[in-house]
Amino acid sequence: MRLPRILVLGVALAAVTLTACTNEAQQQPQQPAAQQSSQAQQPGGVSGRAVKVAFSAPGADHGWLKAITDNARKEAEELGVDLVLSEGTNDSAGQVSQVESLISQKPDVLVILPNEGGPLTPIAQKAMQAGIPVVNIDREFSSPTAYRTWIGGDNYGIGKAAADFITNELKCQGNVVEIQGVAGISVTELRSKGFTDGIKRCNGGIKIVASQPADFLPDKGLQVMETMLQGQKKIDAVYTHDDDMAMGAVQAIKAANREDEMFITGAGGSKDAMNLIAQGGLYRATFLYNPSMSGSAVSLAKLIAEHKGLSELVEPEVPSRIELPATTVTKENVAAVQNLGY
């Protein structure tokens, strides 16, 4: 099963805002966009040559980001897209410079997963103003004028789903520590807000006794968890924003011999996390946020360049916003989705 294609053409399962129409549309999974023969075609667009897509993302310092680049490359190869990749960097100023270079190469569409949405917004707006449509993945720019289409997971939904799982497990009574991702980016803020809102139903019975960012990195997850274990004598659950980062937290908990006191949840859907969930015990749940979205972004970029829409929709344009739902993965259903792990 090829996730990028399914997710691109499964947009009917998510709420979308159409550029040409404000009505929301419901969509059904279909065959890959490249194989559709009945898609609406608008005048103009690329024809007679391969679509040129420029791609920029942060450095692959953990599994999810590596899979982002891998999936984009794989989808481009299958669709016959000319993909121009910049070297990943976790420095926002460096990424701005790389995008400047990509713009100078005059791609048909620019796909960006920003290291930080705010600092990358002006350069994305520059591309849009130059007539180069931008597909924004995951971490959102600070203005909708910076992108033609955004595609990403439901970060608020991840936080809410984690809150629902943890409050049910603890029966609305207990202490939780939160290990966040990168401070200040939309992904982190939404996952925190979703969780905070989700535990309100417990009327104060669930308390967040410590919260600290660890930048989605396993080694920082380890360090932050060590600090929290030292400062908190009673921890019932650990809510982390990322499966790779959670692996460091798991290491710290086990080293402190406190795995019988608490449980942990992650996000993303890594193979390692799913394997631990299948074993049962400390790692109880994760929430799918599959990096196949980058492959979907490349497919959408091709449609935009060709001035095509999705055959599932009446409107002949790609939606301006596609949000993929979070799926809760526990021991009960992990076997059915382990093949999706990255």
Residue 23 lies in a domain: no
Residue 24 lies in a domain: no
One domain for residues 125 and 189: no
What pLDDT is attached to residue 25? 36
Residue 21 lies in a domain: no
pLDDT < 50 stretches in the chain: 1-43
What pLDDT is attached to residue 334? 97
Which structural domain range is residue 119 located in?
36-152+291-308
What is this structure's pTM?
A: 0.80
Residue 183 lies in a domain: yes
CB 176 within 8 A of CB 265: no
What pLDDT is attached to residue 140? 95
Residue 1 lies in a domain: no
We report the CATH number of the domain holding residue 226 as 3.40.50.2300
Number of domains in the chain: 2
What pLDDT is attached to residue 46? 65
One domain for residues 74 and 204: no
One domain for residues 147 and 210: no
Residue 314 lies in a domain: no
One domain for residues 70 and 203: no
What pLDDT is attached to residue 153? 93
Residue 160 lies in a domain: yes
Residue 14 lies in a domain: no
One domain for residues 115 and 54: yes
One domain for residues 102 and 160: no
**Closest Cα to residue 70, out of 60, 80, 61, 79?**
60
pLDDT tens figures, 67-110: 999 999 999 999 999 999 998 898 999 999 999 999 999 999 99
CB 240 within 8 A of CB 266: yes
Count Cβ atoms within 10 A of the Cβ of residue 12 and give its class: 0-12 exposed, 13-18 middle, 19 or more buried.
middle
- Which tokens go with 10? 């499964």
3 state SS of 136: strand
